[in-house]
Amino acid sequence: MSARPLARPAPIVAAGAKGRPQGSKDDMTPPRTIDLGGARVTLQWEDATLVLPSGVLRANCQCTACRQAAAGGGVTVRGDVEVTGASPIGGYGVQFHFSDGHERGIFPWTYLRRLAGA
Ligand SMILES: [Zn+2]
């Protein structure tokens, strides 16, 4: 086994670049725009864009009722569910309103990034 030392220098961020490390406190920054496109939701930060299918959001709702349903076998999600509205929650997340009438789940930005695999 060759244990080569990691000689990779720290990345140099050019002046004016919008780079920022993952997991920084800036993860709490609200997106500039939230675009509700029916079957999907697009959240846009200066340096990142998340696109999440409405059904994925609905299936991963973290409200008490959905977490209980998930623990008891799964949340039933209609295939054509859409996000019909979004209410900012204290700057750290958003509450989505779904076309099936559900609107109790709060989705922190960090949770949305995790759902999107970002
Ligand atoms: Zn829920």
- CATH number of the 31-115 domain: 3.30.2020.30
CA of 113 to the centre of ligand 1 (A): 18
How many angstroms from the chain centroid is the CA of residue 61? 11
Ligand 1 center from residue 16 Cα (angstroms):
40
Residue whose pair of structure tokens reads 């859409």 in the numeric block: 82
Compute the distance from residue 61 Cα to the ligand 1 centre, in Å: 5
Name residues whose C-beta falls within 8 Å of residue 96's C-beta, 6 or more positions apart in sequence: 41, 57, 61, 83, 85, 86, 103, 105, 107
Q: Give dist(CA 48, CA 114) in Å, integer.
A: 13
If DSSP codes are grouped into helix, strand and coil, which group holds residue 85?
Answer: strand
Per-residue confidence (pLDDT) for residue 117, from 0 to 100 = 87
The domain ranges of the chain are 31-115
- Ligand 1 centre distance from Cα of residue 106 (Å): 8
Closest CA to 92 of 114, 113, 107, 104: 107
User: Distance, CA 90 to ligand 1 centroid (Å)?
Assistant: 19
Residue 39 Cα to ligand 1 middle (Å) = 18
> What does the pLDDT look like over 17-68, one tens digit per residue?
344 444 445 567 899 999 998 899 999 999 899 999 999 999 999 999 999 9
